[in-house]
Chains A and B, each alone.
Chain A
Amino acid sequence: MSRRRRAVAPWVPYFFIAPFLLSFALFTLYPLIQSVILTTRQSFGPGYDHYVGLANFSNILSDAKFWVALKNTLTFAIISVGIQMPLSLGLALLMNQPWLRGRSLFRLAIFSPALVGSVFVGIMSAIVFQKRTGMLNQVLHSLFNFDPDFPWLSTHLMPAMIIASLWMWTGFNMIYFLAALQNVDRELVEAASIDGAGPVQRFLHITLPTIRPVAGFVTLICMIASLQIFELPYLMLARLNSGPEDRGLTVVMYLYQTGFNIGDLGYASAIGWILAILLISLSILYRRLSRGEAV
């Protein structure tokens, strides 16, 4: 039996998927395999390239600087996301009042920082957070008599990063929560209030369960983004170093420094893999927890 032609020539689907396959093979799969190979090498460019086995990993595990970077990154991610989530949910609740006027203007304003890339936020923050002369301390001082010499950019870099990240991301998360809240069944809420549920009970028993899948998902993507934080501390510190006692050192910043300042791509790849394992296990954990919930 001869091979019959279809309504669509058989090469057509492959033509459409080809850009993805080629790009994936060359710029994702190949580097991914290379990154595994690189972890076993100490490589300062083509001139100096040695096989070191698992030494990169064992070196990292005994590298105090890496642990500082990891601790900073985790601290930043957990605190920042921990504040962002309730804050953005709260804002979304305020925005979801049916009688609210000017909702789109509020949304526009609160969302707008999401447009500004963290590189620009970092550059702005390097000035805004300066002690004595910075905008933040001046405003806080005039409002609350706050210490104008509070050293945001040195010893207290972590809270400064967290504040900057809140500014960047809270409005963005709020959009998600607002969309989720608008899916809450109004009839269900009305039925509950007829059954005598107060606002708090309605929130706990109707609103919260409905938005839970979205909340879980937003938490995940925020955690993933926060654990890869780089530009913010890098530019807040004006690319000089990682701050006093490495207080601004994050995992990706350390990866960048070892790979592109020092030039050891092998060590950088090993750091990359540790980060990747962290992020992938987070995704897997999320899938486990959210099994059966659709987003």
Chain B
Amino acid sequence: MKPRSKSLTLNLAKALNYALLLLACLVTLTPFYWLLVAAFKKSEDFFAHTFLPKGDGFLGVAWYKLTLDNFSRIFTELDFANNILNSVFLASSTAVISTITAAMGGYALAKYEFRGRDFIMGIVLAALIIPAPLLLAPGYQLLYHLHLLDSYGGLLLPAVAPAFGVFLFRQAMLNSVPQSLLDSARIDGCGELHCFWVIVLPLVRPMVGAYLLITFLGSWNNFIQPQIILQDADKFPLSVALASLQTAYRAEYGMITAGTLVSIAPLAALFLLLQKEFISGLTSGAVKG
């Protein structure tokens, strides 16, 4: 083959590669763009234009047809501010509780020798393959007996030290907490609990960050548990509130899309800030089974 034609095919292949990736981006981003635009549209324009309403404004868009009404309505007619607070509270406390307790469990399994350790490790591995839907019905019964229905306790307590978090932290600590550092801390006069906070957690900081994020995300996106457990609309997080908005106001597409936008915007902001932790967290978080 002549060098020239070879470089031509190579360039064509590169161009095709970029084109395919751009297409993939277009497909993934279009729904976000649609959502962003839809949330600002008046109800009469909602379906009239697929995306931005056409007109004679800048870039051929009828900018004046856009409105903030949808947002003001979900905050005034509905109590979305409250739902946001609920979601933030639930997701952050779930993340913090789950992270600390999972890290504790992982630390015990990775760095201590004690009677029953292998057995407990076996429990952790077995618990990894129990599917969550199986525990929905008996879990509901249990919360009923514990008088934890319609309370955040019913959502937060079961989030303590989930098996897969314990498993993840154990792996992380096996790899990145050298025994000599713990020895050194003990000789330096550090108590075991103090040592956990001051030495161990900082050593697995990437894992802590990633795990905080995935548990935050998991709780934020959780629907079925709060849907079952919570009854009082004042306690609803965004996922449940939005789902009830969808049934109660079927044709209020503007409010529904504005609500969805409000629900996923904080995640998008977090994601842009903490991209690396998110990706490593989500990929490690899925390391189940």
Contact = CB atoms under 8 A, between A and B. Distances in A.
A19 B192 CA distance: 16
B160 interface: yes
Nearest to B221: A117
Contact of B130 (A12, A16, A28, A286): A28
B8 interface: no
B119 to A, nearest CB: 11
A260 B228 contact: yes
Interface stretch (B22-30, B54-62, B77-85, B202-210): B22-30
Contact of B142 (A30, A113, A114, A221): A30
B134 interface: yes
Interface in A118-156: 118-120, 123-124, 126-128, 133, 135, 138-139, 142
Contacts of B141: 31, 34, 38, 265
Interface residues of B, number: 89
A138 B131 contact: no
Given A23-B158, A113-B28, A117-B222, A221 B114 contact: no
B134 A127 contact: no
A51 B130 CA distance: 25
Nearest to B163: A24
B228 A31 contact: no
A180 to B, nearest CB: 11
Contact of A135 (B34, B139, B288): B34
A176 B285 CA distance: 12
B14 A99 contact: yes
A100 B16 CA distance: 12
A124 B160 contact: no
A189 interface: no
B135 interface: yes
A28 B275 CA distance: 33
A139 B136 CA distance: 40
A273 to B, nearest CB: 7
B273 interface: no
Interface residues of A, number: 91
B131 A231 contact: no
B189 to A, nearest CB: 13
Interface in B91-119: 101-102, 104-105, 107-109, 112-114, 117
Interface in B102-154: 102, 104-105, 107-109, 112-114, 117, 120, 123-124, 127, 129-142
Contacts of B279: 107, 111, 175
A64 interface: no
Interface centre among B21, B120, B137, B166 (most CB of A within 10 A): B137
Given A109-B28, A127-B256, A275 B282 contact: no
Contact of A17 (B109, B131, B247): B109
A256 B157 CA distance: 22
Contact of A275 (B113, B131, B139): B131
Interface stretch (A3-11, A76-84, A190-198, A203-211): A3-11
Contact of A167 (B14, B28, B139, B278): B28
B112 A112 contact: no
B108 A31 contact: no
A179 B276 CA distance: 13
A252 B101 contact: no
B34 A256 contact: no
A275 B239 contact: no
7 contacts: A27-B158, A31-B142, A34-B142, A114-B282, A117-B220, A265-B140, A295-B287
Interface of A: 7-10, 12-17, 19-24, 26-28, 30-32, 34-35, 38, 91, 94-95, 97, 99-100, 104, 106-120, 123-124, 126-128, 133, 135, 138-139, 142, 167, 171-172, 175-176, 179, 220-221, 224, 228, 230-231, 235, 238-240, 252, 255-256, 259-260, 265-266, 268-269, 272-273, 275-276, 279-280, 283, 286, 295
Which are the 3 A-B pairs with shortest beta-carbon distances? A117-B221, A34-B138, A13-B112
